Structure formats: structure tokens, C-alpha cells
Amino acid sequence: MKNIMQHQPRKRFGQNFLQSENVIQNIINAINPEINDNLIEIGPGLGALTKEILPFVHKLNVIEIDRDLAQKLKIIFLADNKLIIHNEDALHFDFLKLIENKNTTKLRIFGNLPYNITTPLIFHVLKFIKQIQDVHFMVQNEMAERLSAKPDTKAYGRLTVMVQYFCAVEKLFIVPPEAFTPKPKVHSAIVRLTPHQHLSTPVKDMALLQELVAKSFLTRRKTIFNNLKKILTKEDFIKLAIDPNLRAENISVDNYVKITNFLFSKGAT
């Protein structure tokens, strides 16, 4: 078994394996798994967290892109038929196939994300937002700050707005480099994403919201009016009750939705 557990971490997959029992227990406490949960782990590595989660549930799906690791997991968990291994790229994984029918429990997704794919992976997961109960991800601490940021802060940006439109974001706790093998050069953090049950003001055109937010944060030092003057006049801002002299980081998620829906009503696409 010792030879099976040996694995040379691969930089191209951003592999840093969690080894701290205290951190693993803290993650389990945060997730609080229940027997019938439809749990999916992204990037299980050598199963340090996987083996601790398994006793709590009837089944556990894991997504592992590394073929060698997927094979090792099959051997390590050979006697446990509750584990279902998907040797696939999580960036292209169809999470709908884990929804057996309309009565299936919603997905609870968790994992230690490689830093180099964190943003695209989060956006991919959000495509399945209607089927998700919650998400617990280990990310770089700087990323956790951006995801959970409030308006009027430097960390608040394009990623913040797009993720917080869909979810409430909580930064739960920081994880030091010593919790991993090999040690990363930065601190990590656990974040919880909980989809909003109801949107107070749903956006009428998601692509338009994405475009608007991208333009707004294109030059952070400029006012929101200067960044958007090709599509909005100062009179438009007055109608929207939004100060045109504010910067992108001062505009709330709700106000970005308000601007988007205003543009949509004017026929912008």
C-alpha cells in the first residue's frame, strides 16, 4: 500500500495534496455531510479527504483528471463500493449526469482546487447553479478575498460581482502552506458558496451583465461613467439613481443588475 500511495505531484495539474488532519476535520465540519447527500469531490488526489467523508454518505462521486491518480484511487478504495471515480477534466464535466431524476438531492460540491484553474472552474460549476445546494472550495487566500469582497474594497471586482450574483459567499478559514505536500508558496482558504434561493431582481440578459461588468472594471481608476460613456449618458445614471462619479468597485451587485436591465429595456444586446 505504501508504494501505491507514492505519487510525484504534477505541476501541470497544480497538485498540492492536503495532509493536515486538523484541516481535514475542519473541512468536514464545514460541509457537515449527511447520509443521503449527493456529494461530489473535485480533485481528490490520494483520497486524504475522500476517506474521511465516505463514512458519512451512501455514495461519493469524485472527479480526478490525473489518470495515474484515478487508478491509485481505484486500488486504495477497492473494497468500498460507495466511491464512484470519474477520470475526467472537471472544467468540462457534465454535472447534470449526477442528477438521476427531478427528485434527486441537489449537488454538494467540494474540493481543493488547483490555483491555475480556479476562476474558470468556478464559472463552469455555476452553469449548474439550479442543481447545486452548496459548494465548499479550497482556493488561494487572495482568491477567497476576492470572492467574498464587499463593495468599496480593493478586492471587489469582476469576479466578485459575477459570483455573488448567483451565490452568497463566506470565507470560512485560512489554511497554511504547511497543511500540504508539497507546500504552496501562499496561504489558502476555504470558501462556501450558497446559491441564492430567490433573486430580488433577476438579470434579463446574462451575457449583457457579463459584458457590462467587464467594461466597468476595465480601468478601475476611472469613474463608472467614463468606463461606460459609450453606452450610458449621465442622464441615464440620474434615472438609475446611481452616482456617475463612483468607480466600478463602489457599485453593488444589485446596481449592476439594475444597469443591465435598463440597457436591456433600451434594446442593448
pLDDT of residue 79: 79
Q: Tell me how far CA of residue 269 lies from CA of 45, 47, 118, 207, 263, in angstroms.
A: 43, 46, 29, 8, 8
CB-based burial label for 183 (10 Å; 0-12, 13-18, 19+)? exposed
| Domains of the chain listed by start with CATH number | 2-195 (3.40.50.150), 206-265 (1.10.8.100)
pLDDT of residue 269: 61
The DSSP string of 112-170 is E--GGGHHHHHHHHHTTGGGEEEEEEEEEHHHHHHHT--TTSTT-SHHHHHHHHHEEEE
Digitized pLDDT (tens) for each residue of the chain, 269 residues in all:
444 455 554 444 446 778 899 999 999 999 999 999 999 999 998 899 999 999 999 999 999 999 999 999 999 998 788 999 999 999 999 999 998 776 678 999 999 988 889 999 999 999 999 999 999 999 999 999 999 999 999 999 999 999 999 999 999 999 999 999 878 889 999 999 999 998 888 999 999 999 999 999 999 899 999 999 999 999 999 999 999 999 999 999 999 999 999 999 988 66
pLDDT of residue 13: 46
Q: Is 247 within 8 Å of 207 (Cβ atoms)?
A: no
pLDDT of residue 10: 45
Q: What is the pTM of this model?
A: 0.91
